[in-house]
């Protein structure tokens, strides 16, 4: 599929095929629901390793081809902790967000008020591949961190054992 936003049917197939495209996705509850002749909503979750999930909400219109996202919200959770989220809520009073207005990402600390530009987000192309790759990077980094902690613990135990002899 060359352009998932070409038609509503193309986008629906794209969404339902995400698990085939990205082996990191363990489960998908995404649904594409037509809410009329020219509007649909996408909602659900993508689940990944390490109890990470991406909660997806999109409103898509297809009055003219290609599809356009009228609104979206993407939240990344790990267990019960919201790690970050993306939304296009306008904040014209924040100069740092003007470059790619209105797309931005909420990040810790003070996740509700700490916003950074999100130039990779768009109303005219699928955002999910970018978000999935970002989550894959996060999982890889967390795995490396856990591996390093385990190696450090092994070295510490080894030193204790040697000293104890």
Q: Is residue 1 part of a domain?
A: no
Q: Is residue 67 part of a domain?
A: yes
Selection from 47, 57, 103, 109 nearest residue 78 by Cα: 47
Mean pLDDT score of the chain, rounded to an integer? 91
Q: Is residue 152 part of a domain?
A: yes
Domain containing residue 22: 8-164
Q: Is residue 2 part of a domain?
A: no
Q: Is residue 24 part of a domain?
A: yes
Indicate whether this model's pTM tops 0.75.
Answer: yes
Q: Is residue 125 part of a domain?
A: yes
Number of domains in the chain: 1
Selection from 54, 14, 64, 37 nearest residue 139 by Cα: 54
Q: Is residue 3 part of a domain?
A: no
Confidence at 5, pLDDT banded by 50, 70, 90: very high
């Amino acid at each position: 599929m060359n352009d998932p936003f070409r038609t509503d049917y193309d986008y629906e197939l794209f969404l339902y095929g995400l698990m085939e495209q990205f082996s990191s996705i363990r489960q998908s509850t995404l649904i594409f629901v037509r809410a009329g002749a020219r509007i649909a909503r996408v909602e659900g979750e993508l689940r990944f390793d390490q109890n990470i999930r991406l909660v997806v909400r999109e409103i898509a219109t297809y009055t003219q081809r290609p599809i356009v996202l009228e609104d979206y919200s993407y939240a990344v959770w790990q267990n019960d902790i919201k790690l970050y989220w993306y939304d296009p809520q306008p904040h014209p009073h924040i100069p740092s967000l003007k470059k790619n207005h209105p797309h931005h990402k909420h990040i810790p600390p003070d996740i509700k008020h700490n916003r950074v530009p999100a130039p990779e987000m768009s109303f005219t192309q699928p955002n999910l591949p970018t978000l999935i790759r970002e989550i894959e990077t996060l999982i890889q980094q967390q795995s490396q961190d856990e591996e390093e902690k385990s190696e450090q613990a092994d070295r510490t135990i080894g030193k204790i054992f040697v000293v104890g002899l």
